[in-house]
């Protein structure tokens, strides 16, 4: 095992898959000479050349369409948007083409397409570069949505995503790039659609994903000082959801909080809460399921305000305390 950053884990996964399969190529803005907006593809141009690391004009709709066509022709494109907010510039391509082509053509083609993009707040990038829009795509049949929280998960899930024959949105929270974790030196992949119990507990289940899962871990440490044993379940994949893991954890603890950075209204937490309510886990609940998501407001530029509109360890802690009161 080696301790590496989340950014290095993503970079290593891309390199390994490009070396393994010559059909894998990358396309997006400033990926080559510049090395990517956050440095993920630094040095790739020297190894893979400009035919497999394609710098594009500022036209998400244009190069996403190119990637979809390439996927239908047998290639395995990995698209990168500089910021996840820019999915809005390619919504028709993602939701009406990439998501539906395999179904509408009766399985005559596959769409092995990965769209990688940095998401979330915390960098002072304001309202148009700081959103968490993953719930949009969870609502679209034909798309898979992956949001890993650790270097280990990021590498294993990205390698699996590139090998998939379906379109996948792969979100990498900006504040996770500098976090570190142990990653095996030998090759491995992780199954898409499987959650991970990050911390075992018996008193309450905190369900989360991406950066907020790490905040939930910190909140669990705070709760432990109060004698509360919290279980933290990292969803890792939002579509498909690991319903078995969610139900098993809630049946064990009898209480659940779902927390995420995306706006709470109509968010992932609502789906998870509904899933629990419609399952056998409902009969094990001692309290109603709670949700804690982002405020219904654009992300402010001010660092102080930015922190206040998305869940933090102390607000997760307070919400669990309220749930147990």
CB atoms within 10 A of CB 228: 18
DSSP per-residue letters across 197-239 = EEE--SSEEEEE-HHHHHHHHHHHHHHHTTT--EEEEE--EEE
Four-residue CA torsion sign, 67, 69, 71, 76:
negative
Alpha-carbon gap, residue 314 to 95, rounded angstroms: 36
Selected catalytic residue, list 129, 139, 173, 260: 129
Q: Sign of torsion, CA 53 209 68 37? A: negative
Q: Exposed, middle or buried, 163 (CB in 10 Å: 0-12/13-18/19+)?
A: middle
- Tokens encoding 312: 């933090």
Joined tokens for residue 53 = 């690391």
3-state secondary structure of 257: strand
Q: Is 139 known to be catalytic?
A: no
**Residue written as token pair 């905190």:** 206
Nearest to 76 by CA among 189, 187, 164, 9: 164
Just list the catalytic residues: 129
């Amino acid at each position: 095992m080696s301790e590496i950053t989340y950014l290095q884990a993503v970079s290593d996964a891309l390199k390994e898959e490009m070396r393994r399969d010559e059909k894998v190529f990358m396309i997006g803005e400033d990926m080559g000479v510049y090395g990517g907006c956050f440095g993920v593809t630094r040095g790739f141009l020297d190894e893979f050349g400009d035919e497999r690391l394609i710098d594009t004009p500022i036209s998400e709709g244009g190069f996403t369409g190119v990637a979809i066509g390439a996927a239908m022709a047998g290639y395995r494109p990995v698209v990168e948007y500089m910021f996840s907010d820019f999915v809005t510039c390619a919504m028709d391509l993602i939701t009406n083409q990439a998501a539906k082509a395999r179904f509408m053509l009766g399985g005559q083609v596959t769409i092995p397409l990965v769209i990688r993009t940095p998401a979330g707040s915390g960098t002072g990038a304001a309202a148009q570069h700081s959103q968490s829009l993953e719930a949009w795509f969870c609502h679209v049949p034909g798309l898979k949505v992956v949001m890993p929280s650790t270097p280990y998960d990021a590498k294993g899930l990205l390698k699996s995503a590139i090998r998939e024959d379906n379109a996948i949105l792969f979100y990498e929270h900006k504040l996770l790039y500098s976090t570190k974790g142990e990653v095996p030196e030998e090759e491995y992949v992780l199954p898409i659609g499987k959650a991970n119990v990050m911390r075992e507990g018996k008193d309450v289940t905190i369900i989360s994903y991406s950066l907020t899962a790490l905040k939930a871990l910190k909140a669990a440490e705070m709760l432990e000082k109060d004698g509360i044993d919290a279980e933290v379940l990292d969803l890792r994949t939002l579509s498909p959801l690991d319903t078995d893991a969610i139900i098993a954890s809630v049946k064990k603890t009898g209480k659940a909080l779902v927390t995420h950075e995306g706006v709470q209204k109509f968010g992932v937490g609502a789906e998870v809460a509904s899933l629990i309510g419609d399952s056998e886990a409902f009969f094990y609940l001692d309290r109603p399921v709670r949700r804690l998501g982002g405020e219904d407001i654009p992300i402010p530029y001010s660092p102080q305000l930015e922190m206040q509109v998305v869940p933090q360890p102390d607000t997760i802690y307070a919400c669990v305390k309220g749930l147990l009161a």
